[in-house]
Amino acid sequence: MKRVGRGHPLDREYWRRRWREGRIGFHQEAIDPHLLRHLPGLADRVGAAHPPLRTLVPLCGKSRDLLWLGEEGHRVTGVEIAPEACALCASEQQLSPLSPPAGAERAWRRDLPGGGRLDLLQGDILDLPTPSPDGEGDAGPGWDLIWDRAALIALPARLRPRYAGHLWECLRPGGAMLLVTAEDDSAEREGPPHSVPAGEVDRLYPEAERTELERYEQDRSDGDLTTFTIVVHSLIRPAR
């Protein structure tokens, strides 16, 4: 397991404390509305209008989106570093333990009607294997879709390039990423969540065909941010 400094957002203990103390304002009980609105269009765009989409959800927590994606017939894999979050997710979404693949410490699975499947991996997203050129190995041919609702904005600026580069390698040519970011002009506020403007998204994913799907103001009262701008992006990796 990679360590990046005490109290840092990729430090397991940082997130363990947040889950133990219930400081999980990022968790949503409902299915994310951005995912509901934009998944059909992205599935059409990547040439996989019908399930299954191999879908990766980094820093997933115990997101309800995981089970929903599986129930829609997709093959979804969530990756989470905090054992507390994984235990809650496995219990609430009725997952069964299985032998962990390369890059994971623990793993759970639930097979769902219609060919869907939900896998949960406990570990560092940066340890997840990337696809090999021949499409063989633990990562297969790469992911059709990456759903990043609150992962990129959980990371400070110095770690975002490494994270983004790793995810881009995980995405198959022709695949898509649905990314939600927050923009905030306050220089005094410390994250997470961190402000990631659209220009930075372009620098992090320079090969992507980026489309801004939504942009709107939102108020928060959970102590993380007050007023900020939510931006929803689609990022398409060019086909070979």
The CATH classification of domain 30-64+123-236, taken from the options 3.20.20.60, 2.60.120.260, 3.30.1330.20, 3.40.50.150: 3.40.50.150
- Residue 29: what pLDDT? 77
Tens digit of each residue's pLDDT, the chain (240 residues)? 333 333 444 677 777 777 777 666 665 778 999 999 999 999 998 876 667 899 999 999 889 999 999 999 999 999 998 889 899 999 999 999 999 998 899 999 999 988 999 999 999 999 888 875 555 555 567 999 999 998 999 888 988 999 999 999 999 999 999 999 999 876 555 667 889 999 999 999 999 999 999 999 987 645 554 678 999 999 999 997
H-assigned helices in 21-159: 33-45, 64-71, 83-92
- Residue 198: what pLDDT? 97
Phi-psi map region of 115: left, alpha, beta (phi>0 left; psi -120 to 50 alpha): left
- Residue 128 CB contacts under 8 Å (≥ 6 apart), including other chains: 56, 79, 103, 104, 121, 139, 166, 170
Q: Where are the domains positioned within the chain?
A: 30-64+123-236
- Residue 8: what pLDDT? 43
φ, ψ of residue 111 to 5 degrees: the values are -85, 140
- Residue 226: what pLDDT? 63
- Residue 55: what pLDDT? 95
Distances (CA, A) of 71 to 61, 80, 119: 18, 20, 12
- Residue 184: what pLDDT? 85
Whole-model pTM: value is 0.88
